[in-house]
Amino acid sequence: MGKLANQVAVVTGASKGIGAGIAKALAAEGAAVVVNYASSKEGADRVVAEIAGKGGKAVAVQADLAKPADVTRLFAETKKAFGRLDILVNNAGIYEFAPLEAITEEHFHKHFNLNVLGVLLAAKEAVKLFGPEGGSIINIGSGVSRITPATTAVYTASKGALDAITGVLAKELGPRKIRVNSINPGMIETEGVRGAGISDSDFRKWVETQAPLGRIGQTDDISPTAVYLASSDSKYMTGETLLVAGGLR
């Protein structure tokens, strides 16, 4: 039996990238998984089919996490599909970089509506579904909140806010046996990173020269840490921010 047998997980932004990797890893440990996506139905259906093909349970649910009504619907559909919730992975996020002179209100709100408000609203709904045995909330932050790279002020601010939220909610929800931790990845090769042109950039070369492990990461460098934080292996951990970044800090 897997470490997460009989548990139910919601993974936001799981149609591709880090979220898809985490959804598959949680399912491989026996969790039933809600694979959330915003627009890539095909990608989400592929993740669900892969999980089902290995004997796991998953459903795809569309919801734009930057829209409060969609967040509420995501958790209503989770309850309808699986009747309970034990694990929330707040992974959906965007990263667009801009130097100070290019920062606009739109750029700011786009990042904060999803990377910060979306996380808070998802946590609020998840907590209503967790049972008396509590649950685990895993926020996907970023190594940028420590590295603070130039031209990333808004994105890095959103992930810095997420580090703070992890600490605050860990204290607030601990008495209800709800653990809240963050994984802060370094540069991970994903569809998003490739689409933004970052995977062939000077930033990648900088990471490869600066990271003690000498390479950027892959999604399977992150997913085992999510399984660990979701499972009772980490039962005495909350409020932690784990850098998973090849040693780059």
Which residues of this chain interact with ligand NAP, rule CB under 6 A? Answer: 12-19, 36-40, 43, 64-66, 91-95, 114, 140, 142, 185, 187-188, 190-193
Of 185 and 235, which CB lies nearer to ligand NAP in the complex structure? 185
Considering only CA atoms, give the Rg of the chain.
17
- Do 231 and 32 meet the contact criterion of CB atoms below 8 Å apart? no
Nearest to ligand NAP of 165, 187 (CB atom): 187
Amino acid identity, position 207: V
Dig out the tokens for 156 from the structure.
């890095």
72 versus 134: smaller Cβ distance to ligand NAP: 72
Dihedral of the alpha carbons of 135, 239, 247, 245, in degrees to the nearest 10: 50
**DSSP label of 243:** E
Give CA angle at 112 (93, 46), nearest 5°. Answer: 20
Neighbours of 175 (CB within 10 A): 8
Cβ proximity to ligand NAP: between 114 and 127 the closer is 114
- The amino acid present at 33, given as its one-letter code, is V
d(CA 56, CA 82): 13
**At its nearest, how many Å lie between ligand NAP and the CB of residue 131?**
25
Catalytic sites, residue numbers: 155
CB of 6 to ligand NAP, least distance (A): 26
The number of beta carbons lying within 10 Å of the beta carbon of residue 196 is 14
